[in-house]
Amino acid sequence: MLLIKLEEIAEVLLRDGWHRVLNRSLTVDTCQFGVRDEAGDKIPYWEDSVTWEEETSEGSKTLYSITVPLKSVLAVRKRLP
């Protein structure tokens, strides 16, 4: 088993493709998510999540933060030395 430190992660693979992690910004935390029941009421639940900064488009200076459930991460790529 290969152990990778969070600050070594360069990219995260989700179902929609690879996402580039900027500024060594990846963190793991517990986050509150929510779903709607049949009546439309929000049912909160807690789950481990990952958050990182990413550019809005290739070469853009605009950054935004992405938070997803940890179980949605399919793979990671390590930064090259």
Q: Do 61 and 74 form a contact (C-beta atoms < 8 A)?
A: no
Q: What are phi and psi of 60, to 5 degrees?
A: -75, 155
Sign of CA dihedral 30, 57, 73, 15: positive
Q: pTM value?
A: 0.76
What is the structure's pLDDT at 31?
Answer: 83
- Nearest-CA neighbor of 70 among 9, 24, 19, 27? 27
The tens digit of pLDDT for each residue in 13-54 reads 999 999 999 988 999 998 887 777 888 888 888 889 999 998
